[in-house]
A = this chain, B = another copy of it.
Amino acid sequence: MKTHLTMKDIARDLNLSVSTVSRALRDDPTIAEETRKMIKQYAAEHHFKPNTLAASLRTRESNIIGVIIPDMSNLFFAMVIAGMEDEAEKNNYSIVTVQSREDYKTEVKAVHTLLKTRVDGILVSLSKTTTNYDHFKEVIDNHVPIVFYDRICTGILTDKVVCTDYKGAYDAVDYMIKTGCRRIGYFGSDSNLEIAKNRKKGYIDALRKHDIDIDPELIVNCDTGKEAKLLAPDILKMNNPPDAILAINDSTASGILYAAKKLGIKIPEQLSLCGFGDGYISKHTFPSLTSVFQDPFEIGRQAMRLLINKIKHPELFDHITNKVVNTSLQIQESTRKLPD
Q: Which residues of A contact B (CB under 8 A)?
A: 1-2, 4, 47, 49-54, 56-57, 60, 62, 64, 71-75, 77-79, 81-82, 85-86, 89, 94-99, 112-113, 115-118, 138, 142-143, 225, 251, 254, 257-258, 261, 280-281, 283-286, 297
Contact = CB atoms under 8 A, between A and B. Distances in A.
- Copies of the polypeptide in the assembly: 2
Contacts of A81: 72, 97
A99 B73 contact: no
Contact of A285 (B4, B49, B284): B284
Given A50-B116, A57-B54, A78-B75, A286 B286 contact: yes
Contacts of A142: 2, 4
B82 A99 contact: yes
Contacts of A261: 286
Contacts of A89: 98
A94 B113 contact: yes
Contacts of A251: 284
Contacts of A52: 116-118
Nearest to A79: B73
A142 B99 CA distance: 30
B286 A53 contact: no
4 A-B pairs with the lowest CB-CB distances in the bound complex, closest first: A78-B78, A72-B82, A73-B79, A73-B82
A94 B117 contact: yes
A114 to B, nearest CB: 9
7 contacts: A1-B60, A51-B118, A53-B57, A53-B118, A72-B82, A78-B78, A225-B283
B96 A94 contact: yes
A80 to B, nearest CB: 9
A289 B288 CA distance: 16
Contacts of A53: 53, 56-57, 62, 118
A98 B113 CA distance: 20
Given A73-B79, A284-B284, 18 more contacts: A49-B112, A53-B53, A53-B118, A72-B82, A75-B78, A77-B78, A82-B99, A85-B99, A86-B99, A89-B98, A94-B96, A94-B113, A94-B117, A95-B96, A96-B96, A254-B284, A258-B286, A285-B286
Contact of A2 (B75, B117, B143): B143
A62 B176 CA distance: 55
A122 to B, nearest CB: 14
A53 B81 CA distance: 24
Contacts of A86: 99
A115 to B, nearest CB: 6
Most interface-central of A50, A75, A95 (chain B CB within 10 A): A75
